Amino acid sequence: MNTVFVQHTTPCSTDEYDTMLADDFSAPLSGFYDDLKSWLTTKTLGGTSHKSFFQYYDKKLWLPIRKMLENAASSKTPSISEAELLSCRYSGELFRIQHYYKRKHGQVYPLGCYQSWSREAGLQALSNIGGEVLLIRGHASPLDYAISTSELLLNINPEVWSLVFCGRHELSRYKNECEVVMPISTNNIDELLVVESAHLCEWRTYGTPLPKQKWFRNNWR
């Protein structure tokens, strides 16, 4: 699907945004615009988050979207918008970056809520964290798939999002990160590596694998 973004050089007014949203309310994702924008703009790479943050977005955003995807996949005669929405399912290799701390115990807590990952193409946009990072390499399957936020953006009325983000630049940034979301579990992690962020894209050469006994921990902090 080809999307043309409309450039807005000044912040949108509340009335302008409300009018656009009202015109677009029938779009499958229109009820999630505000929460999706908040998800994209309020978290930072390696930043501190609480369990309640992820639990909120599971309830308000990711689990409802997952239900929509399941309904669209099971439809015998999916609409055009449902067929386009199915492109948001992602299966394949996943990468997640966290700050690396030398711990006596494990590095990763399998919370079970949706969290940010990236496709490998997005590592270049995430390589500015500085110092050593923990690179989590995992996978998603056709049955246990991730949800691609960059594909979600393509399924949203571009005029609405140009108004919400006030221009094309912000949307391009989020697309370049190639974010996908999926819960962290003991079943979808294949490898943990320590690598200098400057060499993140060359992780196969510069990454140092961690032994499995260092992978998981039993508490959030």
Segment 53-63, tens digit of pLDDT: 999 999 999 99
10-34: pLDDT as tens digits: 444 445 444 444 444 335 676 787 7
Position 1 scores a pLDDT of 35
d(CA 82, CA 64): 14
Asked if residue 206 has pLDDT above 50, the reply is: yes
pLDDT at 144: 95
Q: Give the pLDDT mean for 111-133.
A: 84
Residue pLDDT, tens place only, 84-105: 889 899 999 999 998 888 877 7
- 169-204 per-position pLDDT tens digit: 566 777 778 899 999 999 999 999 999 988 989 999
Question: Is residue 8, in this structure, part of any structural domain at all?
Answer: no
Specify the pLDDT at position 150. Answer: 82
* Residue 160 located in a structural domain: yes
- Its domain, for residue 146, covers 14-214
Q: Which residues of 14-36 are buried (b: 16+ CB within 10 A; e: fewer)?
A: eeeeeebbeeeeebbbeebbebb
**pTM: predicted TM-score of the whole model, two decimal places:** 0.81
**Residue 148 within any structural domain of the chain:** yes
- pLDDT higher than threshold 90 for residue 215: yes
Question: Tell me: the pLDDT tens digits for 73-84?
Answer: 999 888 877 888
**Residue 98 covered by a domain:** yes
Counting the structural domains of the chain, the total is 1
**Residue 116, beta-bridge partner list:** 181
What pLDDT is stored for residue 27 in this prediction? 55
CA atoms within 13 A on the CB side of 165: 24
Q: Which two tokens stand for residue 45?
A: 């790479």
Which residues, including other chains, have CB under 8 Å from residue 158's CB and lie 6 or more apart? 3, 4, 5, 6
Q: Is 8 exposed, middle or buried (0-12, 13-18, 19+ CB in 10 A)?
A: middle
Q: What percent of the chain has pLDDT over 70?
A: 74
30 within a domain of the structure (yes/no): yes
Task: Give a yes or no: residue 145 inside a domain.
Answer: yes
| In-domain check, residue 182 | yes
Q: Is residue 82 part of a domain?
A: yes
